[in-house]
Chains A and B, each alone.
Chain A
Amino acid sequence: MFLCDFDKQKEIAEIARQALLRERVYAKENPKISVLNEAVQKLKSADFAKSYYDPFDETMFEGKVAVDLLYYKHLLRNLDESYSKDVQELLAQTYRNVKNIYEFVNIKPCIYGKGVTTSILENSLEQVETKLTEVINEALDIAFYSLPPEKRADKYNSKAIPLANKLVTESNDPEESLQYAIKACVLEEVLTKIAFPGANWLRVKHLTESEDFGLIFDQEKLVEIVETFEKQISKISKYLAACV
């Protein structure tokens, strides 16, 4: 049916236009989440690894500490003897903390390095040295040497530059300071991997942020011990950067 009254027709068109405008404003203010976006949001909070981990095992941790200390012995072999006591103390504190973290998140500790198990402890010093050199070289290669220069910069500059700046202000050579800072950052990454190999570190970090975990567990306490661990590893890596 057509309307012959043009004024009436105009009035109705105006009402319709206003309704459409209101709808547009509402849609803008309350964007409708698409099914895909909703799925993405759900996937972000989903805990896919929840069935993956085994519970903490004291014996396994003792074995892990023994092997990890071999890595440190290897890395610290050129350390100035005057720092030796400080580093030993720091290492003891760090591994007490590592144990706390493993116990807190209740995951089974594992040993870093392909094919490295507690049986390495029974090998000769020479064999141990060869195996650990191989594993550490591979780790450094993955963390740094295999990366193209721009990726290295992307990965480490943001963390290394503040440290380098600090060293420069203490009248150190800028080039050497930057090299030292990058070395410390790379070692920090490798040492974290030694303490929490595979997906373990990701799991720890995930739990420090997981909403579900925080509802039930003392998440703040976990965050605190993880931060302490990061500070301790950062300190050790600085000692190491000076002697590697």
Chain B
Amino acid sequence: MSAIETLYKTKIAPALQDKKIETLIFTELTKMVSASYTSNMASDESFCFKFNLPLIAVNNFYKILNLNPVEVNLSFKSDWGSTLTAMHTDPYYQILLLLIYHGIITKKENITKNALMVLLLKIWNGRKSHFFKYCDKRVMKYVISRMLTNRHILSKYENPVTLLQDYFVPTLLSKYAPEIHQDIFKLKRLFEQSYARIFQLFIFNPRTNLQTGKQEAQGGLLPIYMKAREEGLYITTQGQKQQDDENVSGYEDFATTHNRDEIVDKTTDFMVMNKVLYPINIITEINRKTNVSVKIIEKILAALNEHKNIEIIQNLLVLILSRCNVTSVTDICKGNFSTLIQKNVISSKNNDEANKIQRLLDVLLERIFKEKLDINFNNYSVVHKIKIRNVIIFAIEHNLFRVNCRGN
């Protein structure tokens, strides 16, 4: 049993069986959500708004449940690994995640929703402060009302609180609550996705500009805001709101994240739930491109599709799709997807995502080499490791195409 589950079953669940305590927590959460709602509605700061975080009230949950934050932190570290960020180990998030878990397990939707909402408030504040240190509400209002098409999610919501409450909370829960119900480890994914989705709201696909060496976003609120500010545009400036245009660039539709999630889930499920047989022409093609022997390719591919690799495959797919800037299935089915993989994944180096892909592939290959081939992967030179890694990248490319373009 996982450490978090043990903690929940031994300390939190028994405490929450006391209806008074459970009601108290629910009331507190509702108050927090209500306060944030009221303050945001009263404000005219649009998406520049920063919430007053209920830090003390959330911290009180530890006292109410008679929990030691150190003990809770140890459980999270034990389950989620030692390489956690400050966010993962923040007691604020940890107690709320435990309450989300409680709500999911006991099917108390209101507790789940409110706890997630309170968690998102802090993520929002963090990203907002990080990207907009000095946010001009007039510019922001101009961006929201004049520079976004009607398809964009931000133009559908008036302020951050409605965006979080009416868009992020339901979409995140509909996607991850059933998974968390089955496997408590998915709580980490919910948390990381909450962060990632809000992050993408501000900056989408940050890349290093090779000419300036600076990080530049491919889309998101920040680049449009900066553009408006540079051009001196704000809400009193005369301007024409753009009509819905499929070719509007600079700001990715929010469907992107959703589409990618779907592609990732569908492809991962196909890869780990089925005994995938790779056609001989694919194996020959991989052999031609990598010079890894056919026998070894077959062994690597057979081992790749084992269920225990689910997390790595999922993360690899997320990174590969992000590197190739895939926003929908159509991008995968286009003729140039292989070229994109070659350019942005295989030939790309010295950027965060490419380094992460390499590390994940190494972990996977070390395991496969040790367990299936009885060979130490690290015996191989850097340049040969590149070729061996490419076997897996080509296999993932094949699966992406097969699942999303050919319907298996």
Contact = CB atoms under 8 A, between A and B. Distances in A.
15 contacts: A47-B379, A56-B383, A104-B291, A106-B386, A107-B383, A212-B375, A215-B375, A216-B292, A216-B293, A216-B296, A216-B384, A217-B291, A217-B387, A218-B287, A221-B291
Interface residues of A, number: 21
B387 A106 contact: yes
Interface in A201-244: 212-213, 215-218, 221-222
Nearest to B349: A55
A54 interface: yes
A107 B386 CA distance: 11
A50 B287 CA distance: 22
B384 A213 contact: yes
A216 B383 contact: no
B42 interface: no
A104 B387 CA distance: 9
Contact of A53 (B379, B382, B388): B382
Given A106-B387, A215-B375, A216-B296, A51 B291 contact: no
Given A106-B386, A106-B387, A217 B379 contact: no
A33 interface: no
B381 A47 contact: yes
A223 to B, nearest CB: 12
Interface residues of B, number: 16
Given A216-B375, A218-B291, A50 B296 contact: no
Contacts of B383: 53-56, 105-107
B286 to A, nearest CB: 12
Nearest to B293: A218
B386 A50 contact: no
B292 A49 contact: no
Contact of B380 (A52, A105, A216, A218): A216
B147 to A, nearest CB: 40
A53 B381 contact: yes
Contacts of B382: 50-51, 53, 55
Contacts of A53: 381-383
A106 B384 contact: yes
B292 A218 contact: yes
B386 A216 contact: no
Contact of B384 (A54, A217, A221): A217
Nearest to A104: B291
Interface in A75-117: 104-107
Contacts of B380: 50, 212, 216
Nearest to A213: B384
Contacts of A216: 292-293, 296, 375, 380, 384, 388
Nearest to A55: B383
Contacts of B291: 104, 217-218, 221-222
Nearest to B369: A216
Contacts of B373: 215
B137 to A, nearest CB: 50
Contacts of A107: 383
Q: Which of B292, B296, B373, B379 has the most CB of A within 10 A?
A: B379
Q: Top 10 closest A-B pairs, CB basis?
A: A50-B381, A106-B383, A55-B383, A218-B293, A212-B379, A104-B291, A216-B296, A217-B291, A53-B383, A218-B291
